[in-house]
Amino acid sequence: MRKPAFRYLPLLWLGACGAALAETPKDAEGSHEFLLGASLESTVGHIGDGQRSLSLKPVWHFQLGPFRVSRSRASTLLGTGRKSGETGVSADFFSRDDWSLSASLRMDNGRTFDDDPVWRGLPDIRTTVRGRVSVRRPFSERWGWNASIDQDLMGREGGMRLNSGVSYVYPLSERTQWDLGLSATWGNARYMQTHFGISPAGAAAVGASPYQLGGGWEGVQAGWNASTALNSHWVLFGGVGVSQLRGDAARSPLVSRKTTSSATLGVAYRNRR
């Protein structure tokens, strides 16, 4: 039996990291930087009881040479004029003529219905590792385009997802800026079925009808974020976001809200090179 192509993505990612080391300037090889902070997040999910939750989450970013370990939007908070990085473990391995290509690994924490009174009994989505390759190109000082493809690397039915969008950055001062992002996400059949479908076995367990999906658009997202440097080390940040499911994903019986919103406020400490 022929092996699925996605099984070779870890090798591609390792090759990308090797290329990053080969292309990294000597001054970047000695680069050591970090950011530590926390954010208060108000969120509501598309799936489940639709109740809004308030949580305190850590924000961090560490860099050693070309490699970064980052959570949430920490990599964008290191300083004005610095390039945004990937979330997870990542490395840049190509940059030429305004085009940049990077690879990253990130954890996908999955989902459980154990606390859901309606869908308890459906199988959990298991935690997995997703590999992502991203490409970016600025149109001008303020406008940019980005696209990415990510794949479940552990064979846990996570499937593949594509995302593409545009961003706009507006500097209010040397210390303060805000940015706006608009994007759309498409998933293959395995991704869509795992996240929005109900298998015949799952339907029998909860007394519902099966819901089968093929590949298609998952949804569109918009986000507005702002950050300001309080001094050379401390940065204050926040933002709001909106997400809307589309097509078969929006019609899933699991979905309680087609449109959701979120808000974030946080503070972080960073070192400066």
31: left (phi over 0), alpha (psi -120 to 50) or beta: beta
H or E element at residue 11: helix 9-23
Looking at residue 40, what is its pLDDT? 96
* Mean pLDDT value across residues 112-118: 88
Please report the pLDDT score of residue 115 as a whole number.
85
Of 106, 112, 108, which Cα lies nearest the Cα of 125?
A: 112
At 9, the pLDDT band (50, 70, 90 cuts) reads: very low
Short-list 42, 44, 43, 50, CA closest to 256: 50
Report domain extents, the chain: 5-270
- The model's pLDDT over 22-39, given as tens digits with 9 standing for 90+, comes to 344 444 444 567 889 999
Residue 91 confidence class, pLDDT cut points 50, 70, 90: low
pLDDT, residue 265, reads 97
Are 178 and 171 contacting, i.e. CB atoms less than 8 angstroms apart? no
CATH of domain 5-270: 2.40.230
What's the pLDDT tens digit per position in 154-167? 999 999 999 999 99
What pLDDT, on a 0 to 100 scale, did the predictor assign at position 13? Answer: 45
Backbone angles phi, psi at 199, to 5 degrees: -75, 160
DSSP 48: S
